[in-house]
Amino acid sequence: MSDSTERCWLVERTVDQRNLVTLVYATPDGNQFQRRERSATALRTGSPVTAAVEISADELEDVTDEDIREQYASEARRVAETYDPDEEI
């Protein structure tokens, strides 16, 4: 178990037919990500969605698709330039 963390930026947010919200946070280089699923109700009543979060390095998954990696890196860069890490988005 690693105690190092990575700052990851929100790169994707989708909502399905059941009102389940999927949030994807990725490292700035787009090489790693974490997917989180929460109900829309939990998002309204729980902790806010912020531009960035600190994620334990051992909880991150590798991005294996080059196009997705580039997409995540581009979106992470855009979000980092637009928002403060703790800013709600």
Per the prediction, the chain carries an average pLDDT of: 92
Domains held by the chain: number: 1
pLDDT higher than threshold 50 for residue 30: yes
Report if residue 47 sits inside a domain: yes
SS (H, E, C) 2-44: CCCEEEEEEEEEEECCCCEEEEEEECCCCCEEEEEEEEHHHHH
Report if residue 43 sits inside a domain: yes
- Owning domain of residue 78: 5-82
Report if residue 88 sits inside a domain: no
Report if residue 87 sits inside a domain: no
Percent of the chain with pLDDT over 90: 75
pLDDT higher than threshold 90 for residue 9: yes
Residue 81: predicted pLDDT: 96
Report if residue 89 sits inside a domain: no
Contact 40, 21 (CB under 8 A): yes
Note the pLDDT tens digit of each residue in 64-82: 999 999 999 999 999 999 9
Note the pLDDT tens digit of each residue in 42-52: 777 777 899 99
| Mean pLDDT for the stretch of residues 20-29 | 96
Higher pLDDT, 17 or 59: 59
